[in-house]
């Protein structure tokens, strides 16, 4: 994505929009940790959206990026960080966009970060990742993706339950990931993680 240099006026407007995002979207939802607010308050979201959407980069809704992809609302990314609690001891795996906004937020907070696209989540692979973050809402977590997580590894994602999206956390135990749904929040749904269709009679 080509980034056009901003004028001084545009830069000031962007800084004001980030402050408003923090004060009206994150703090009011209980996200007050400086290690979350500082990077979200300095990383320009407008650098990760199409030029036609730059002025809408800080709205409290998902933004279409083209080709069916979406940039989730700031609150979802803030909650992913708050619930995932990444540290420099984490070897993290992100399902999302390697050049995207959330990868740019997460990368400095962990010891190492690998990123795979949602379409690659069902491919075989092993690993000893301690943190799995999924940038979107899923109906199911594929077994092959769970195989990449170390036992007792943490998961933070969006989850679709009966058509409603929620932030969810979990851990891997005995080879299985169990998710605990938390607060309802608008999250882009990842079609690659749809549950298998069941026959009904």
Domain with residue 170: its CATH number is 3.40.50.150
Q: What's the confidence (pLDDT) of residue 195?
A: 80
Closest by CA to 156, choosing from 95, 68, 88, 74, is 95
Kindly state whether residue 90 falls inside one of the protein's structural domains: yes
199 lies in a domain? no
Q: Number of folded domains in the chain?
A: 1
**Inside any domain, residue 201:** no
Domain of residue 147, residue span: 8-193
- In the predicted structure, residue 197 carries a pLDDT above the cut 80: no
- The dihedral over CA atoms of 131, 22, 12, 61, expressed in degrees to the nearest 10, equals 80
DSSP 57-95: TTSSS-EEEETTEEEPPHHHHHHHHHHH---TT-EEEEE
In a domain, 151, yes or no: yes
Q: What's the pLDDT tens digit per position in 162-189?
A: 999 999 999 999 888 999 999 999 999 9
Q: What angle do CA 150, 152, 155 make, to 5 degrees?
A: 85
Residue 183 · residue 80 · CB < 8 Å:
no
Question: pTM to 2 decimals?
Answer: 0.89
Cβ contacts of 111 within 8 Å, gap of 6 or more: 87, 88, 89, 90, 91, 92
Domain assignment of residue 2, yes or no: no
- Token pair in block for residue 22: 């923090």
Distance, in Å, from the CA atom of 99 to the CA atom of 106, rounded to the nearest integer, reads: 11
In a domain, 3, yes or no: no
Q: How confident is the model at residue 196 (pLDDT cuts 50, 70, 90)?
A: confident
For 122-147, the pLDDT digits (tens) are 888 778 999 999 999 999 999 999 99
In-domain check, residue 198: no
Residue 98: pLDDT above 80? yes
Tell me whether residue 20 is in a domain: yes
Give the pair of three-digit tokens for residue 55.
């002025």
């Amino acid at each position: 994505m080509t980034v056009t240099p901003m004028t001084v006026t545009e830069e000031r407007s962007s800084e004001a929009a980030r402050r408003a995002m923090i004060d009206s979207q994150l703090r009011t939802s209980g996200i007050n940790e400086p290690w979350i607010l500082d990077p979200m308050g300095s990383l320009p979201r407008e650098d990760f959206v199409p030029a036609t959407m730059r002025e809408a980069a800080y709205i409290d809704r998902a933004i279409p990026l083209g080709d069916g992809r979406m940039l989730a609302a700031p609150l979802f990314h803030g909650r992913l960080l708050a619930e995932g609690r990444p540290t420099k001891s984490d070897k993290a795996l992100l399902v999302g966009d390697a050049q995207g906004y959330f990868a740019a937020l997460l990368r400095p907070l962990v010891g190492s970060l690998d990123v795979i696209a949602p379409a690659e989540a069902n491919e075989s692979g092993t690993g000893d990742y301690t943190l799995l973050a999924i940038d979107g809402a899923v109906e199911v977590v594929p077994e092959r993706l769970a195989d990449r997580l170390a036992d007792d590894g943490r998961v933070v994602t969006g989850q679709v339950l009966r058509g409603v999206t929620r932030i969810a956390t979990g851990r891997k135990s005995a080879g299985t990931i169990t998710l605990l749904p938390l607060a309802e929040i608008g999250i882009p749904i990842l079609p690659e993680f749809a549950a298998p269709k069941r026959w009904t009679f």
